[in-house]
Amino acid sequence: MSQNKTPDSKPAPSGEKLQKVLARAGFGSRREMETAITAGRVKVNGKLASLGDRVEPRDSVAFDERPVTLKAEQETPRRVIMYNKPEGELCTRKDPEGRRTVFERLPRLKGERWIAIGRLDINTSGLLLFTTDGELANRLMHPSTQVEREYAVRVMGEVKQENVVAMVEGVMLEDGPARFTDVQEFGGEGINTWFHVVLLEGRNREVRRLWESQALTVSRLKRVRYGNIFLDKRAKAGEWVELGQDEVDDLAALADLPARKVPELTPEEKNRWSRDKNKRRPVQAMRKPKTKRPRR
């Protein structure tokens, strides 16, 4: 026992929190793993796990009765892809109503899962990031990290200076105070004007609700930036692209995580990802079929 400890002091807990280890293994976000543990889907050493359990490398963990390979943080692959979400897709893995989900469009992984870094509602398009590193996803989404999210917004109605000032200074919504850190006008036609706005959190429909607090309606909404990653021409609507080492390292720095080498795709993965990219093009499928002209 260390001399600094009093006789009745408790030893520091050993191991890592179970939900953190599962998230790092790619089974989902920490919040999703907490839900899975509560639902009785996780076992440690053959017994049902509880929230607050901690595990060490020697422990045996199973998720939905399947064994989990426990990896040290530095051993976890860190891949990130940028996806350009079209309107009409849901940010969920499965939809009971059979509607399209963003996960249906992503390249398939073996032994890992894509974890969404934030969400967009069904009527919002634009930049979504996915990673295989649960800790990176958790930190980038956490409000304490203060990561900027930038949106292009088309607003219907007359926007007055006092409306902009109110949204920057902050308004009270039903779930607490909210504000934009920046609002820039980008012009428009008629009753519609485009703006770019910046948030430091990602609450449900927060951009729309801020404008609605000023009796203004958002007619189009598209996320164009998350942290230091800008949506660009590499990914058209409904397409994804893997981020390079420098971009992934910049995201890790935002999350206060050490840099880690992005693993190279194996020949099998390259072939599989290429096939997935070629066959998963929702924009093409959304176009109306051309009407055939009757033959003369």
Could you say which DSSP state residue 51 is in?
T
Give the Cα separation of 292 and 194 in Å (integer). Answer: 38
Task: Using alpha carbons, select from 194, 193, 195, 169 the residue that is nearest to residue 181.
Answer: 169
* Cross-strand bridge partners of residue 220: 154
Q: What is the CB neighbour count within 10 angstroms for residue 286? A: 13
Residue 187 φ/ψ region, left for φ over 0, alpha for ψ in the -120 to 50 degree band, beta for the rest: left
SS in 3 state form for 96-130?
Answer: CCCCCEHHHHCCCCCCCCCEEECCCCCCCEEEEEE
Which of 155, 294, 133 minimizes the C-alpha distance to 215?
A: 155
3-state secondary structure of 250: helix
Cα end-to-end distance, the chain, whole Å: 96
**Catalytic residue ranges:** 121
